[in-house]
Amino acid sequence: MTTLTPSPELAAALGATLVVMPAYNEEQAVSAVVAEVLAAVPGASCLVVSDGSTDATAERATDAGAIVLQLPFNLGVGGAMRAGFRYAVEHGFRYVVQVDADGQHNPRDVPTLVDALSEVDIVIGARFAGEGEYKASGPRAWAMKLLAFTMSRIARTRLTDTTSGFRGAGPRAVELFAAHYPSEYLGDTVESLVLALRAGATVRQVPVAMRERAGGVPSQNAFRSTVYLMRALVALVISLTARPYPLASKDAPVPSRTEATR
Amino acid sequence: MTTTAYVFGIVSSGLVVVAVFELLRRRQVRERHAVWWVIASLFALVISIFPSLLEWLAKVVGVAAPINLGFFVTIVILFLLSVQHGAEFTTLEDKTRALAEQTAFLRQRVESLERRLDGGSAQAENQQRDQADPGTDGEAHDARVHPYAGTEYQDHDKPHHEAH
């Protein structure tokens, strides 16, 4: 958990952090989550990307103090995130943290993620890394295990929860994602990670606890999970064979850290 | 082959050629989309005028029944057409997505400018931010609302500023 008084470096990093929340018809939960983020992450800005919502998501988010982007139709989480990354680049934010609008991610973990971004390009808030009570079963669990195994090999670090939507990106990753964030199904999780890894980005996972969703129903049935498994594997294979994009060499996270501590 | 069948073949393939060129002429199909249609219709016309050409070609490539060569070429052309359409769809989807992003960015800017003009609700928003971050808020918020006011990249330098 976060320390109550962040170090000067972390405070500065949080001031340059954009918390992005893709939201599709989340009027029930969004304002509480935005308020929680603004309270838990001092200095950070909160961007809600209303992904073609037909309810009052945008109004609730604006009233709660978030910056709101309203996409005219549904682009999926990947499309919403790319808009978020582009917003971050255009407005000079160095760090982007993705948080679900349904409240299952605890905003108090955001500073932990941003802190780790001083050393690596991408941080994943993992549900199985010690903390939390989240449990998956059946084909969905097998898919997650297989993905975790393969991704760990590619990343050369232990990754247990590659489909987590709770993740942070440092300056180099933000720039890469603003241009090339994949918009296909599962692209926002598996493919984006492979894309970044093949571009030379470094990844680490940080344990986080998941909470009950404040709204919406999780989809869990055997048929869907099997389809999920197949599509995840196809996405993985395709992204492994696709031509890699280069990562900007400037703003490497490790040098900027030494500069900040000087 | 009867004369009727011969004439029927020439007339129908000729109609296809005329239809494709007419669409091109009216600019209802762009030439880069119609490339395979033009090739396919000309292929059909030539073969229907000189059926012996197909027989000769079949012998050259070693296909026993000439008509199978005709089917094969037709299928290949239709397949290439479908693939071309798929690629075009992807390009269009990307463009649509870029436009959707653009409208979202513009709408956000317009609405935040409206709120600033509106006074009341803009102040409420500023208060909210002041509570979250009393120190650096003023300049950072201005930089975000007014990206072209010269303070655009203030946030870029922020971490460095505070480090020095």
Go through B34-50 and write b for each residue having 16 or more CB atoms within 10 A of its CB, e for each that does not: bebbeebbebbbebbee
Instruction: With respect to residue A4, please indicate whether it lies within any of the assigned structural domains.
Output: no
Most confident of A16-20, A40-44, A153-157, B20-24: A16-20
Average pLDDT estimate for B39-48: 90
Chain A contact set for B105 (CB, 8 A): 69, 83, 86-87, 90
Name the residue facing A183 among B97, B128, B155 (closest C-beta).
Answer: B97
Whether B152 contacts chain A with CB within 8 A? yes
**pLDDT in the model for residue B140:** 41
Task: Identify whether A42 is part of a domain.
Answer: yes
Instruction: Say how many C-beta atoms besides its own lie within 10 A of residue B124's C-beta.
Output: 12
Taking an 8 Å cut-off on Cβ atoms, the answer to whether B154 and A92 are in contact is yes
Average pLDDT of the segment spanning A243-262: 52
**A92 has a pLDDT exceeding 90:** yes
Under the banding of pLDDT at 50, 70 and 90, the label for residue A221 is: low
Predicted local distance difference test score (pLDDT) of residue A252: 46
Domain membership of residue A262 (yes or no) is no
Neighbour-count burial for A5-40, b at 16+ CB within 10 Å, e otherwise: ebeebbbbbbbbbbbbbbbbbbbbbbbebbbbbbeb
pLDDT at A127: 76
User: What pLDDT does B133 receive?
Assistant: 46
Res A90: pLDDT: 94
> Tokens at residue A66, please?
């978030």
Q: Would you say residue B163 has pLDDT above 50?
A: no
Total domain count, chain A:
1
- CATH code of the domain in which A75 resides: 3.90.550.10
Asked whether residue A113 is domain-assigned, the answer is: yes
- Average pLDDT, rounded, for chain B: 77
At A135 the pLDDT is 56
CB-based contact B159 A183, cutoff 8 Å: no
Is A1 within a domain?
no
pLDDT in tens, A8-18: 888 888 889 99
Q: Do A70 and B108 touch (CB under 8 A)?
A: yes
List all residues 6 or more positions away from A74 whose beta carbon is below 8 Å from its beta carbon.
A24, A51, A52
Asked if this assembly's ipTM is beyond 0.85, the reply is no
A167-169 and A122-126 strand pairing: antiparallel
Token couple for A46:
């909160």
Is A5 within a domain? Answer: no
* CA distance to A23, A62, B31, B47, per residue, from B106 (Å): 19, 16, 35, 56
Q: pLDDT tens, B60-99?
A: 999 899 889 989 998 998 898 899 889 989 899 889 999 9
**CA distances to A64, A218, B127, B142 from B120, in Å:** 15, 40, 11, 17
d(CA A171, CA B83): 37
A157 touches chain B (CB under 8 A): no
- Answer whether residue A261 is part of any domain: no
Q: Average of pLDDT values for A177-182? A: 89
Does pLDDT of B143 surpass 60? no
Query: For the residues A68-86, what does the mean pLDDT come to?
Result: 92
For residue range A188-209, what is the model confidence (pLDDT) as tens digits? 778 888 889 989 899 999 988 8
| Residue B101 to residue A86, Cβ atoms within 8 A | yes
Is A42 an 8 Å CB contact of chain B? yes
Any CB–CB contact under 8 A between B142 and chain A?
no
Alpha-carbon torsion B64, B67, B68, B73, what sign? positive
Residue B15 has pLDDT above 80, yes or no: yes
What integer pLDDT is reported at residue A225 of this predicted model?
67
Domain that holds residue A81: 10-256
* Mean pLDDT computed over A2-6: 58
- pLDDT over 80 (residue A119): yes
Split at pLDDT 50, 70, 90, the class of A96 is very high
The answer to whether A104 touches A206, Cβ cutoff 8 Å, is no
Residue A65: its chain B contacts at CB < 8 A? 125, 128-129, 132
Check B97 against A79: CB less than 8 A apart.
yes
Asked whether the beta carbons of residue A260 and residue B159 sit closer than 8 angstroms, the reply is yes
Stated pTM of the model: 0.73
Tokens standing for residue A181: 């964030």
Which residue is it, tokens 């001092």? A42
CA dist A212 to A8, A102, A103, Å? 33, 9, 7
**From start to end of A100-247, where are the E strands?**
122-126, 167-169, 203-207
Are residues A201 and A251 in contact, defined by beta-carbon separation less than 8 angstroms?
Answer: no
pLDDT of residue A56 exceeding 60: yes
Whether the pLDDT of residue A253 is over 50: the answer is no
- Domain contains A196: yes
Interface test with B, best of A67, A91, A180 (most B CBs within 10 A): A91
What mean pLDDT comes out for the span B113-132?
Answer: 64
pLDDT band at A149; cut points 50, 70, 90: confident
pLDDT (average), residues A235-255: 68
Q: Collect all residues of chain B within an 8 Å Cβ-Cβ radius of residue A261.
A: 163
Please give the mean pLDDT across all residues of chain A: 81
Are A44 and A18 in contact, with CB atoms under 8 Å apart? Answer: yes
Residue A22: which H helix or E strand, with range?
A: strand A17-23
Interface of A with B in 172-191 (CB under 8 A): 183
**Residue B135 sits at the chain A interface (C-beta within 8 Å):** yes
From the list B104, B136, B158, the residue facing A83 with the nearest CB is B104
Mean pLDDT of A126-146: 64
Residues ≥6 apart with Cβ < 8 Å to B115 = B121, B122, B125
